[in-house]
Amino acid sequence: MKCIILHESKRRLRVHLSQGRMTLEQADMVEYYLRSKSFVRRVKVFDRTCDAVIEYSGERTAVISALASFAYTEEVRQLVPEHTGRALDREFEDRLIFMIARRYIGKLIMPMPIRYAGAVIKSLKYVWEAVKCIARGRIEVSILDATAIVVSLIRGDRATASSVMFLLRLGELLEEWTHKRSVDDLAGTLSLGVEKVWLTGGEHDILVPVKSVKAGDSIIVRTGGMIPLDGKVISGEAEVNQSSMTGEAMPVRKTEGSYVYAGTVVEDGSIVICVDKTAGSGRYDRIVKMIEDSEKLKSEAESKAAHLADKLVPYSLGGTVITYLLTRNAQRALSFLMVDFSCALKLAMPISVISAMRECGIHGITVKGGKFLEAVADADTIVFDKTGTLTHAEPKVSGIVTFGGNDEQECLRLAACLEEHFPHSIANAVVNEAESRGITHEEKHSAVQYVVAHGISSTIDGEKCIIGSYHFVFEDEGTVIPEGEEHKLNELPEECSRLYLAVGGRLAAVLCIEDPLRDEAAEVISALHELGITKTVMMTGDGKHAARSAANKSGVDEYYSEVLPEDKAAYIRHEHELGRKVIMIGDGVNDSPALSEADAGIAINTGAAIAREIADIMINADDLRSIIVLRRISEELMKRINSNYRTIIGFNFSLIVLGALGLLPPATSAFLHNTSTIVIGTASMRNYLKEE
């Protein structure tokens, strides 16, 4: 596309796209096309002027080349998310401009009697809200608003009444936009993360992209898998966790004829689903509704602010009466009435929390509710899973040791055949190793069963085939080692994790998994200590040798090996009994009980579906440093909330005193009070972390 460079500075370009008019959709296409380029650090597209501001790294010629080759194609359209927030921003921008223009144009052209009548009509909304509040037997801020407006109108002070109503509407619009935009951003990040699905119905199951599935196709979802599409169960049985859609705490049993929803998770069992709705149909709207209805959005700070605001209303009314009785001056009493603490408290606190959630989203962190940010800020203990969390999300098979004369390639083929049904970092390592060796297979085994934190069991050619941990394979299943080959187990490298494969009750192979520690792990542990975390713990189902190696390298305070899911949850309960606040970070099915037990459960976004479902927060798998960002934002949020409390109470108390002393007229008190509310609310939208 032809572009004109309007302005240029160091690593920054402002360009004009040579087209007559740009739609909102086209603006999104340009923005997300440029975002997809590795050398573009930040981009902002202005659809009204057809301009784009681009901050980049590397060579300027790469940006020019990207712009020159841009075109509005279907391929580019696929880069744009379902909801970007641009249309929502435009809606509220237009509403704000219209509101301000209508007010000031009306003041210029409307005669005073009509303006007074208009103020009376507008006041009816606030009077009705106050009447409903009184009917419920409650004294809340709506009564203060209505009283201030009505008293001003009775005194003939239309300007004050109009100013109060305008600022209240402006505050409502600001709060509505902030909340909707934050919910929109949050819903966009709560994508299912399911890219492929098992299509069944033929001779063999086929792994296909979820976008290629059509209504009427049959898909199979097994233990730990997320249901990617709405549909009806046509065979099988499963316990499905559907709390994200229905709020039900306990898993629901699904059998033939039951309906299942996208985004819910199979906790146990296996079901075949006839797809009813294809990818995207209705999912976004359901997620938005879930977020808006969920009490998780309400942090303790928001609830405290709302309750405090309502508790202060009777004191404001009482103070107005006392001021009048002492001074016999209606203007001083009205000045008292024009000021309350409620508006700013109820506006600033939710905006502060939602803004923090939105900023987390910018850093690849999905927070499902404000109260979890408070939990992260208050936490003093953090528990890490090892595999896929402290270690890389993509471990590799470093070696295969066979037993009983079995062929290495065949053992890997069988292991991959079993593991690909239950994606986890270790399972992915096995599947990827088979793929890298060019090993393909046709499934010959029967239905597979996943045993949480232990392994996988199936049957092939009439023989039981299992793969999993030492405890599962040898202690639970009683597998024997071929005679004379015991020494091979003792010679396995200590630093590697191990998967044991057995066929017909005899050990067939051991797959050694190289699970290198993340480069940033030690740095993250050290930074968390500096940020006030007093205890860092690693808990893993791996053997003691691999666990000790990872613990020493990462610098955690404590580590526990060969633990079961219930052991992790029990440890967190014990920490709670000691009065400690606990964060749990994991990525697997076996981490789910601990994630649920913790004050804030954090899942890696590439982990098991059930872990992502149960977790309160999700972080990007690419870099563990996002935990540091999360902690810093959480702490800054609490600082801002406390600062807002001090500012709101201090400033408004000063206005009350000045009004009661007769130093501020009612109109000025109302103006300063409402203006301060908007200023504090707007300031609460600022980012918490400075750009580096």
Each residue's pLDDT tens digit, 611-667: 777 788 888 767 889 999 999 999 999 999 889 888 888 888 888 888 878 888 777
32-36, 42-46, 66-70, 343-347: least confidently modelled range: 343-347
Which residues sit opposite 586 in a β-bridge? Answer: 603
DSSP 210: G
Q: Using the predicted structure, report yes or no on whether residue 290 has a pLDDT greater than 80.
A: no
- 422 versus 165: the higher-pLDDT residue is 165
169-183, 305-319, 533-547 — most confident range:
533-547
Contacts of 112 (CB under 8 A, 6+ apart): 158
Burial class (CB in 10 A: 0-12, 13-18, 19+), 186: buried
pLDDT computed for residue 184 by the predictor? 67
Multiple choice CATH, 196-291, 2.70.150.10, 1.10.10.60, 3.40.630.30, 2.40.50.430: 2.70.150.10
- 198 versus 185: the higher-pLDDT residue is 198
b/e sequence 246-259, b meaning 16+ C-beta within 10 Å: eeeeebbebeeebe
DSSP assignment of 286-331:
HHHHHHHH-GGG--HHHHHHHHHHHHHHHHHHHHHHHHHHHH--HH
> Average pLDDT for residues 601-605, to the nearest whole number?
86
What pLDDT digit, counting tens, does each position of 478-493 carry?
Answer: 899 998 898 888 888 8
Contacts of 41 (CB under 8 A, 6+ apart): 11, 55, 56, 57
Q: Using the predicted structure, report yes or no on whether residue 294 has a pLDDT greater than 50.
A: no
Q: Using the predicted structure, report yes or no on whether residue 401 has a pLDDT greater than 90.
A: yes
Number of H helices, E strands in the chain: 24, 24
Residues composing the chain: 692
Q: Using the predicted structure, report yes or no on whether residue 192 has a pLDDT greater than 60.
A: no
CA distance 385 to 547: 10
Please identify which residue in the block is written with the tokens 């007010």. Answer: 103
> Average pLDDT for residues 591-617, to the nearest whole number?
81
Residue 438 zone, left/alpha/beta (φ > 0; ψ -120 to 50; rest): left
- Three-state SS sequence of 380-432: CEEEEEHHHHHECCCCEEEEEEECCCCCHHHHHHHHHHHHCCCCCHHHHHHHH
Q: Using the predicted structure, report yes or no on whether residue 79 has a pLDDT greater than 70.
A: yes
- The CATH code of the domain at 366-392+517-619 is 3.40.50.1000
Q: What percent of the chain has pLDDT over 90?
A: 24
Amino acid at 539: M
Q: Using the predicted structure, report yes or no on whether residue 141 has a pLDDT greater than 60.
A: yes
Pairing of strands 231-241, 252-254: antiparallel
pLDDT tier at 378 (50, 70, 90 boundaries)?
A: very high
> Average pLDDT for residues 657-681, to the nearest whole number?
79
- 284 versus 148: the higher-pLDDT residue is 148
Write down the domain spans for the chain.
3-80, 91-187+297-352+635-683, 196-291, 366-392+517-619, 396-514
> Average pLDDT for residues 593-601, to the nearest whole number?
89
> Average pLDDT for residues 469-473, to the nearest whole number?
85
> Average pLDDT for residues 5-24, to the nearest whole number?
90
Q: Using the predicted structure, report yes or no on whether residue 570 has a pLDDT greater than 60.
A: yes
Count of other CB atoms within 10 angstroms of residue 226: 21
Task: Copy the structure tokens of residue 616.
Answer: 């309160």
Nearest to 427 by CA among 394, 462, 386: 394
Q: Using the predicted structure, report yes or no on whether residue 154 has a pLDDT greater than 80.
A: yes
22-36, 147-161, 195-209, 349-363 — most confident range:
22-36
Residue 138 zone, left/alpha/beta (φ > 0; ψ -120 to 50; rest): beta
> Average pLDDT for residues 179-194, to the nearest whole number?
59
Helix (H) or strand (E) holding 596: helix 592-597
Report CA dihedral (69, 71, 76, 81) to the nearest 10 degrees.
Answer: 120
43-47, 220-224, 388-392 — most confident range:
43-47
pTM over 0.75: no
pLDDT computed for residue 142 by the predictor? 80
DSSP 517: B
pLDDT computed for residue 662 by the predictor? 80
Task: Copy the structure tokens of residue 9.
Answer: 């500075």
Round the average pLDDT of the chain to a whole number and report it.
82
**CATH 3.30.70.100, domain 3-80, yes or no:** yes
Q: Using the predicted structure, report yes or no on whether residue 582 has a pLDDT greater than 80.
A: yes
pLDDT tier at 315 (50, 70, 90 boundaries)?
A: confident
What pLDDT digit, counting tens, does each position of 507-538 carry?
Answer: 999 999 887 888 899 999 999 999 999 999 99
Q: Using the predicted structure, report yes or no on whether residue 669 has a pLDDT greater than 80.
A: no
pLDDT tier at 247 (50, 70, 90 boundaries)?
A: very low
pLDDT computed for residue 580 by the predictor? 95
Contacts of 274 (CB under 8 A, 6+ apart): 216, 217, 218, 231, 232, 233, 234
Nearest to 607 by CA among 225, 207, 191: 225
Multiple choice CATH, 396-514, 1.20.1090.10, 3.90.550.10, 3.40.50.620, 3.40.1110.10: 3.40.1110.10
Q: Using the predicted structure, report yes or no on whether residue 296 has a pLDDT greater than 50.
A: no
> Average pLDDT for residues 562-574, to the nearest whole number?
88
pLDDT computed for residue 269 by the predictor? 81
Q: Using the predicted structure, report yes or no on whether residue 349 has a pLDDT greater than 90.
A: no
- 235 versus 211: the higher-pLDDT residue is 235
> Average pLDDT for residues 191-200, to the nearest whole number?
68
- 150 versus 176: the higher-pLDDT residue is 150
Nearest to 50 by CA among 72, 18, 77, 76: 18
CA distance 414 to 457: 12
Helix (H) or strand (E) holding 506: strand 506-514
Q: Using the predicted structure, report yes or no on whether residue 555 has a pLDDT greater than 90.
A: yes
| SS3 at position 82 | coil
Q: Using the predicted structure, report yes or no on whether residue 128 has a pLDDT greater than 70.
A: yes
Q: Using the predicted structure, report yes or no on whether residue 292 has a pLDDT greater than 70.
A: no
